[in-house]
Amino acid sequence: MDAVSFDPGARDEFLIAVEHYEACQPGLGRRFRLALERQLGLICKMPFRFRVLHPPFRRCLIPRFPYSVIFAIEPEFILVVAVAHAKRKPGYWLERVGGNATD
């Protein structure tokens, strides 16, 4: 499986994080983007390797950054529903997928 699709909210989170890191230190935004792309490659190769967070959603940590990729395995692609900062309220992204954040 090679296709990845981003929920619009997840894409916004990703772009905001890249801009933030780049503003903090030139080149850091690029390193964050590359780290996320590496993890997406692993997710595409071995999607069942990652821990189930809220079925059917799984979580992949991004090394050296306090972010996780929250994703679902669809028949034809990986759906990224959040690029979640570790300090953000857990489960906030469930509202995007019709879930309840208090589950």
DSSP string, 18-70: HHHHHHHSTTHHHHHHHHHHHHHHHHHH-GGGSPEEETTEEEEEETTTTEEEE
What average pLDDT does this structure show over 66-78? 96
Give the CA count within 13 Å in the CB-facing half-sphere of 47: 19
Q: What is the pLDDT of residue 1?
A: 61
| Of 76, 90, 82, residue with least CA distance to 62 | 82
What is the C-alpha to C-alpha distance for residues 75 and 60, in angstroms, rounded to an integer? 19
Phi/psi of residue 32, nearest 5 degrees: -65, -45
Please provide the CATH number assigned to the domain covering 4-97: 3.30.2310.20
Domain ranges of the chain: 4-97
What tokens appear for 10 in the block?
Answer: 């997840």
pLDDT band at 97 (very low <50, low <70, confident <90, very high): confident
Confidence of residue 102 (pLDDT cuts 50, 70, 90): very low
Query: Is the pLDDT score of 99 beyond 80?
Result: no
